């Protein structure tokens, strides 16, 4: 099915990206998964090809293109067969550098955004504290002001790119007594190598290629140069950008389930039991048809959200609905696809099994399904 939201430039970008992923990513996925690391060289190559920060101003190295290019990127990355890599790049492109672009001064953009566009630097966003994830306003990572310096203390967890990122956008309380508490949150840029900053890589059940880390701040000295935007405005910036984040994660979810569906169709047409292929058995044919239908429904909804969001419409309700639907869909499709693969579907060496553990993350990151439903409930007047 073709969709009219994309122009020939968008489709040209899609073709270039597909070719790049087929040549530079697909052959190396297993190596990256085993090493628990994405090599630096791929970030540099992506930067050279214009696959990083393409929506940002050419003054800082971007291409100044519209947000629908992000959608194409997310869908194709979802279909590359490595969700860990896809999520790492999405965090860099759509979830962290966005704050430098939206809130940064000219000087801050030159210093931190430009190297993220060339791929010299990798970026992360650290919101989640060990004691507060969904409830962002309750984070306790905080700063004390000493003269013109901010002294940062606290801990973050589950941070994508958190161990290898060069630049980390950190949400911290600059006013612990603010009422309501979310008014006390500010955003800072913390550079790798800052004295007092350390991190520990976490072992996950999936998405192994991407590094996910705990980050510790022990009297990290920051100045006003590190503050993004105004003090106390961090929460609003986070809530604003979370819409893009949820849209992109949903589209990656649609991409990865399409990939799983394609693999499942191929397998069902080859595997025989009781003298016929699995695809000839009606119960399995229908299961696969249901998978294809639900992916198509979610894709149509996602594209509609993407087109409206690119026009600047405020569609918090719809994007929350999309994230909740896709978060649940990926898990259902992962379950059905592994079932159709039988015992092979449970073997880590089978792609579908690996992707099943990868997609489990999608109903959690960027806001859980329950939190999406709470947002929707408020929006529909409950």
Ligand X SMILES: Cc1cc2nc3c(=O)[nH]c(=O)nc-3n(C[C@H](O)[C@H](O)[C@H](O)COP(=O)(O)OP(=O)(O)OC[C@H]3O[C@@H](n4cnc5c(N)ncnc54)[C@H](O)[C@@H]3O)c2cc1C
Q: Which of 243, 237, 148, 149 shows the shortest CA–CA distance to 185?
A: 237
Q: Does 21 bind ligand X (CB under 6 A)?
A: no
Pick the piece of the chain touching ligand X (CB under 6 A) from 70-78, 110-118, 246-254, 362-370: 362-370
Identify the sign of the CA torsion 103, 155, 180, 243: positive
β partners of residue 212: 160
Q: How many other C-beta atoms are found inside a 10 Å radius of the C-beta of residue 203?
A: 7
Question: How far is the C-alpha of 231 from the C-alpha of 174, rounded, in Å?
Answer: 7
Question: How far is the C-alpha of 139 from the C-alpha of 159, rounded, in Å?
Answer: 14
Q: Does 138 bind ligand X (CB under 6 A)?
A: no
Which of 96, 264 has the CB closer to ligand X? 96
Q: Tokens 């000219």 label which residue? A: 106
Which of 13, 158 has the CB closer to ligand X? 158
Q: Does 32 bind ligand X (CB under 6 A)?
A: no
Which of 152, 288 has the CB closer to ligand X? 152
Strands 123-126 and 272-273: unpaired
Provide the mask over 156-175, with x wherever binding to ligand X is found by CB under 6 A and - wherever it is not. --xxx---------------
Query: CB-side exposure of 208: number of CA atoms within 13 Å?
Result: 14
Q: Does 222 bind ligand X (CB under 6 A)?
A: no
Provide the mask over 223-262, with x wherever binding to ligand X is found by CB under 6 A and - wherever it is not. ----------------------------------------
Of 91, 315, 337, 359, the residue at the interface with ligand X (CB under 6 A) is: 91
Establish whether 339 is a catalytic residue.
no
CB of 272 to ligand X, least distance (A): 37
Pick the piece of the chain touching ligand X (CB under 6 A) from 231-239, 304-312, 315-323, 357-365: 357-365
Query: What is the gyration radius of the CA atoms in the chain, in angstroms?
Result: 21
CB of 353 to ligand X, least distance (A): 18
Burial class (CB in 10 A: 0-12, 13-18, 19+), 145: exposed
Residues that bind ligand X (CB under 6 A): 91, 125-128, 133-135, 158-160, 207, 212, 361, 364-365, 367-368, 370-371, 374
Q: Which residues belong to the active site?
A: 245
């Amino acid at each position: 099915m073709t969709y009219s939201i994309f122009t020939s430039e968008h489709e040209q970008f899609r073709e270039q990206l597909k070719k790049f992923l087929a040549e530079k990513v697909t052959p190396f996925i297993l190596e990256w998964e085993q090493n628990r690391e994405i090599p630096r060289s791929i970030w540099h190559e992506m930067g050279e090809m214009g696959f990083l920060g393409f929506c940002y101003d050419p003054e800082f190295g971007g291409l100044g293109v519209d947000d629908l290019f992000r959608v194409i990127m997310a869908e194709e990355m979802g279909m590359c067969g490595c969700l860990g890599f896809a999520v790492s790049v999405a965090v860099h492109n759509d979830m962290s550098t966005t704050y430098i672009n939206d809130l940064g001064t000219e000087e801050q953009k030159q210093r931190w955004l430009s190297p993220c566009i060339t791929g010299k630097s990798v970026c992360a966003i650290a919101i989640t504290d060990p004691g507060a994830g969904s409830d962002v306003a309750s984070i306790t990572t905080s700063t004390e002001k000493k003269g013109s310096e901010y002294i940062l203390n606290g801990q973050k967890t589950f941070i994508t790119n958190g161990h290898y990122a060069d630049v980390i956008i950190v949400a911290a309380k600059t006013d612990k007594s603010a009422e309501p508490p979310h008014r006390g949150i500010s955003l800072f840029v913390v550079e790798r190598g800052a004295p007092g900053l350390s991190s520990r890589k976490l072992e996950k059940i999936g998405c192994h290629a991407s590094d996910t880390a705990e980050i510790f701040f022990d009297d990290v000295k920051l100045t006003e140069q590190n503050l993004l935007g105004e003090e106390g405005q961090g929460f609003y910036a986070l809530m604003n950008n979370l819409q893009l984040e949820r849209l992109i994660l949903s589209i990656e979810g649609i991409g990865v389930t399409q990939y799983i569906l394609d693999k499942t169709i191929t397998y069902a047409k080859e595997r025989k039991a009781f003298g016929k292929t699995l695809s000839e058995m009606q119960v399995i044919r229908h299961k696969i048809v249901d998978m294809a239908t639900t992916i198509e429904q979610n894709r149509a909804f996602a594209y509609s959200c993407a087109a409206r969001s690119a026009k600047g419409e405020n569609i918090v309700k719809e994007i929350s609905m999309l994230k909740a639907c896709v978060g649940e869909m990926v898990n259902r499709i992962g379950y059905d696809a592994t079932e159709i693969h039988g015992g092979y579907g449970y073997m880590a060496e089978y792609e579908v099994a690996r992707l099943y553990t990868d997609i489990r993350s999608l109903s959690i990151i960027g806001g859980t399904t329950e939190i999406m439903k709470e947002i929707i409930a408020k929006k529909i007047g409950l």
